[in-house]
Amino acid sequence: MKVISRRILGIGFITTIASLAFPALATETPSIKCRALGQTTRYRGKLFTCIKVKSKGKTILAWDSGRVIAIPSATPSQNPILSPTESPIQSSELVVVNKIDIPIAKSSEVPANTTMSFTAKNRYGNSNTYFVVRNSDGLLGMNAACTHNGCAVKQEREGLLCPCHNALFDLNNGSVLRGPAAHPLERVDVREEAGIIYLTD
Ligand code: FES
Protein backbone atom coordinates (compact mmCIF):
# COMPACT_ATOMS: atom_id res chain seq x y z
CA MET A 1 0.00 0.00 0.00
CA LYS A 2 2.83 2.33 0.93
CA VAL A 3 4.52 1.70 -2.42
CA ILE A 4 1.28 2.45 -4.31
CA SER A 5 0.64 5.62 -2.29
CA ARG A 6 4.16 6.86 -2.98
CA ARG A 7 3.73 6.18 -6.68
CA ILE A 8 0.39 8.04 -6.78
CA LEU A 9 1.91 10.96 -4.90
CA GLY A 10 4.87 10.96 -7.28
CA ILE A 11 2.65 11.02 -10.39
CA GLY A 12 0.52 13.78 -8.88
CA PHE A 13 3.62 15.84 -8.10
CA ILE A 14 5.05 15.44 -11.63
CA THR A 15 1.68 16.36 -13.22
CA THR A 16 1.40 19.46 -11.07
CA ILE A 17 4.95 20.58 -11.90
CA ALA A 18 4.36 19.94 -15.64
CA SER A 19 1.11 21.93 -15.56
CA LEU A 20 2.84 24.86 -13.87
CA ALA A 21 5.82 24.78 -16.20
CA PHE A 22 3.78 24.24 -19.39
CA PRO A 23 0.28 25.74 -18.96
CA ALA A 24 -0.68 24.66 -22.50
CA LEU A 25 -0.39 21.02 -21.41
CA ALA A 26 -3.00 21.60 -18.73
CA THR A 27 -5.58 22.75 -21.27
CA GLU A 28 -7.37 20.31 -23.51
CA THR A 29 -7.64 21.67 -27.02
CA PRO A 30 -10.27 20.98 -29.71
CA SER A 31 -9.85 17.77 -31.67
CA ILE A 32 -10.55 19.47 -35.01
CA LYS A 33 -7.49 20.75 -36.82
CA CYS A 34 -6.53 24.40 -36.57
CA ARG A 35 -5.81 25.25 -40.19
CA ALA A 36 -6.39 28.97 -40.76
CA LEU A 37 -5.13 31.91 -38.76
CA GLY A 38 -8.02 33.43 -36.83
CA GLN A 39 -10.23 30.33 -37.12
CA THR A 40 -12.31 29.84 -33.99
CA THR A 41 -14.16 26.92 -32.50
CA ARG A 42 -16.05 26.21 -29.29
CA TYR A 43 -15.05 23.22 -27.24
CA ARG A 44 -15.92 22.28 -23.69
CA GLY A 45 -17.36 25.67 -22.85
CA LYS A 46 -14.40 27.62 -24.25
CA LEU A 47 -13.79 29.60 -27.41
CA PHE A 48 -10.46 28.64 -29.02
CA THR A 49 -8.68 30.71 -31.66
CA CYS A 50 -6.14 29.47 -34.17
CA ILE A 51 -2.89 31.40 -33.65
CA LYS A 52 0.75 31.27 -34.76
CA VAL A 53 3.17 29.79 -32.23
CA LYS A 54 6.86 28.93 -32.26
CA SER A 55 7.69 25.26 -31.98
CA LYS A 56 11.19 23.83 -32.37
CA GLY A 57 12.30 26.98 -34.15
CA LYS A 58 9.36 26.89 -36.59
CA THR A 59 6.18 28.93 -36.67
CA ILE A 60 3.12 26.70 -36.71
CA LEU A 61 -0.63 27.12 -36.33
CA ALA A 62 -2.09 25.90 -33.05
CA TRP A 63 -5.09 26.51 -30.83
CA ASP A 64 -4.64 29.07 -28.07
CA SER A 65 -5.52 28.11 -24.50
CA GLY A 66 -9.14 29.20 -25.05
CA ARG A 67 -11.34 31.52 -23.05
CA VAL A 68 -14.53 30.76 -21.21
CA ILE A 69 -17.58 31.66 -23.26
CA ALA A 70 -19.74 34.34 -21.63
CA ILE A 71 -23.36 33.22 -21.60
CA PRO A 72 -26.10 35.72 -20.65
CA SER A 73 -27.79 34.61 -17.45
CA ALA A 74 -31.58 34.43 -16.99
CA THR A 75 -31.53 37.45 -14.71
CA PRO A 76 -29.20 40.28 -15.71
CA SER A 77 -28.04 40.82 -12.13
CA GLN A 78 -26.47 37.38 -11.93
CA ASN A 79 -22.86 36.75 -12.91
CA PRO A 80 -22.84 36.35 -16.73
CA ILE A 81 -19.58 34.42 -16.76
CA LEU A 82 -20.18 30.77 -16.07
CA SER A 83 -17.48 28.28 -15.33
CA PRO A 84 -17.12 25.38 -17.82
CA THR A 85 -19.00 23.06 -15.48
CA GLU A 86 -21.93 25.48 -15.19
CA SER A 87 -22.13 26.09 -18.94
CA PRO A 88 -25.04 24.61 -20.89
CA ILE A 89 -22.36 23.20 -23.20
CA GLN A 90 -21.75 19.78 -21.68
CA SER A 91 -18.15 18.96 -20.87
CA SER A 92 -18.16 16.04 -23.30
CA GLU A 93 -19.78 18.02 -26.13
CA LEU A 94 -17.71 18.92 -29.17
CA VAL A 95 -19.25 21.82 -31.04
CA VAL A 96 -19.15 21.11 -34.75
CA VAL A 97 -19.40 24.08 -37.08
CA ASN A 98 -21.19 22.85 -40.18
CA LYS A 99 -19.96 23.79 -43.62
CA ILE A 100 -21.93 26.46 -45.44
CA ASP A 101 -22.69 27.27 -49.06
CA ILE A 102 -20.69 30.31 -50.15
CA PRO A 103 -21.79 32.11 -53.33
CA ILE A 104 -18.26 32.96 -54.42
CA ALA A 105 -18.60 34.41 -57.94
CA LYS A 106 -20.70 34.80 -61.04
CA SER A 107 -20.03 32.08 -63.62
CA SER A 108 -18.80 34.74 -66.04
CA GLU A 109 -16.04 35.73 -63.58
CA VAL A 110 -14.27 32.40 -64.13
CA PRO A 111 -13.83 31.94 -67.90
CA ALA A 112 -12.53 28.71 -69.42
CA ASN A 113 -8.91 27.78 -68.65
CA THR A 114 -8.46 30.30 -65.87
CA THR A 115 -7.72 30.29 -62.15
CA MET A 116 -9.30 33.11 -60.17
CA SER A 117 -9.03 34.00 -56.50
CA PHE A 118 -11.91 35.23 -54.35
CA THR A 119 -12.24 36.18 -50.72
CA ALA A 120 -15.34 35.35 -48.69
CA LYS A 121 -16.39 34.59 -45.13
CA ASN A 122 -16.11 30.93 -44.22
CA ARG A 123 -18.27 29.03 -41.74
CA TYR A 124 -16.31 30.48 -38.83
CA GLY A 125 -17.16 34.01 -40.00
CA ASN A 126 -13.53 34.62 -40.96
CA SER A 127 -12.41 36.11 -44.23
CA ASN A 128 -10.78 33.39 -46.32
CA THR A 129 -9.28 33.27 -49.81
CA TYR A 130 -10.21 30.54 -52.28
CA PHE A 131 -9.12 29.66 -55.81
CA VAL A 132 -11.63 28.59 -58.43
CA VAL A 133 -10.27 26.86 -61.54
CA ARG A 134 -12.23 26.23 -64.72
CA ASN A 135 -10.55 23.71 -67.00
CA SER A 136 -11.63 21.03 -69.48
CA ASP A 137 -12.81 18.82 -66.56
CA GLY A 138 -15.07 21.54 -65.17
CA LEU A 139 -14.74 23.58 -61.99
CA LEU A 140 -12.37 22.99 -59.10
CA GLY A 141 -12.29 24.84 -55.76
CA MET A 142 -9.27 25.15 -53.46
CA ASN A 143 -8.55 26.74 -50.11
CA ALA A 144 -5.71 29.27 -50.45
CA ALA A 145 -4.31 28.43 -46.98
CA CYS A 146 -0.81 26.99 -47.47
CA THR A 147 -0.62 23.40 -46.27
CA HIS A 148 2.81 24.06 -44.76
CA ASN A 149 1.88 26.63 -42.15
CA GLY A 150 -1.35 28.30 -43.18
CA CYS A 151 -0.18 31.52 -44.91
CA ALA A 152 -2.43 32.80 -47.69
CA VAL A 153 -1.09 31.59 -51.04
CA LYS A 154 -1.02 34.17 -53.85
CA GLN A 155 -1.52 33.71 -57.55
CA GLU A 156 1.64 34.51 -59.53
CA ARG A 157 2.72 33.83 -63.10
CA GLU A 158 4.77 30.77 -62.04
CA GLY A 159 1.91 29.26 -60.04
CA LEU A 160 0.28 29.63 -56.63
CA LEU A 161 3.06 31.01 -54.44
CA CYS A 162 3.25 31.05 -50.66
CA PRO A 163 4.90 34.29 -49.50
CA CYS A 164 6.00 32.79 -46.17
CA HIS A 165 8.48 30.05 -47.14
CA ASN A 166 8.21 30.04 -50.92
CA ALA A 167 6.22 26.86 -51.49
CA LEU A 168 4.77 26.70 -54.99
CA PHE A 169 1.53 24.98 -56.02
CA ASP A 170 0.20 24.13 -59.47
CA LEU A 171 -2.12 26.79 -60.79
CA ASN A 172 -4.49 24.22 -62.28
CA ASN A 173 -4.91 21.72 -59.46
CA GLY A 174 -3.04 22.87 -56.33
CA SER A 175 -0.47 20.06 -56.38
CA VAL A 176 2.94 20.81 -54.82
CA LEU A 177 5.58 21.99 -57.28
CA ARG A 178 8.07 23.12 -54.62
CA GLY A 179 8.32 22.58 -50.84
CA PRO A 180 8.47 23.01 -47.96
CA ALA A 181 4.73 22.26 -48.26
CA ALA A 182 4.25 18.49 -48.51
CA HIS A 183 0.55 18.37 -49.35
CA PRO A 184 -1.55 19.89 -52.15
CA LEU A 185 -3.91 22.76 -51.43
CA GLU A 186 -7.10 21.58 -49.77
CA ARG A 187 -9.94 20.93 -52.22
CA VAL A 188 -13.24 22.65 -51.57
CA ASP A 189 -16.54 21.36 -52.99
CA VAL A 190 -17.75 23.58 -55.80
CA ARG A 191 -20.96 23.74 -57.84
CA GLU A 192 -22.49 26.06 -60.37
CA GLU A 193 -26.16 26.93 -60.39
CA ALA A 194 -28.12 29.57 -62.34
CA GLY A 195 -24.99 31.51 -63.25
CA ILE A 196 -23.52 31.49 -59.71
CA ILE A 197 -20.53 29.48 -58.46
CA TYR A 198 -20.89 28.15 -54.90
CA LEU A 199 -18.19 26.74 -52.64
CA THR A 200 -19.05 24.58 -49.63
CA ASP A 201 -16.70 25.25 -46.72
S1 FES B 1 3.54 28.62 -44.82
FE2 FES B 1 5.50 27.84 -45.23
S3 FES B 1 5.58 27.61 -47.34
FE4 FES B 1 3.62 28.33 -46.94
Predicted confidence pLDDT, tens digits, the chain (201 residues): 454 445 544 444 444 444 444 444 445 777 777 777 777 777 777 777 777 777 777 777 787 877 776 554 444 444 444 444 444 445 455 667 888 889 999 999 999 999 999 999 988 888 899 999 999 989 999 999 999 988 999 999 999 999 999 999 999 999 999 999 999 999 999 999 999 999 998
Atom of ligand 1 nearest to the CA of 146: 4
Nearest residue CA, atom 3 of ligand 1? 165
Model pTM above 0.75: no
Domain ranges of the chain: 28-96, 101-200
| Residue to mutate (ligand 1; options 148, 154, 183; most atoms within 8 A of CB) | 148
Within 6 A (CB) of ligand 1 lie 146, 148-149, 151, 162, 164-165, 167, 180-181
* C-alpha–C-alpha distance, residues 98 and 71, integer Å: 21
Mark out the alpha helices in the chain (DSSP H runs): 2-21, 23-26
How far is residue 18 from each of residues 6, 13, 38, measured CA to CA in Å? 18, 9, 28
How far is residue 44 from each of residues 47, 125, 148, 154, 200, measured CA to CA in Å? 8, 20, 28, 36, 26
Nearest residue CA, atom 1 of ligand 1? 149
Which numeric CATH code is attached to 101-200? 2.102.10.10
pLDDT at 93: 55
Mark out the alpha helices in 57-121 (DSSP H runs): none
* C-alpha–C-alpha distance, residues 76 and 98, integer Å: 31
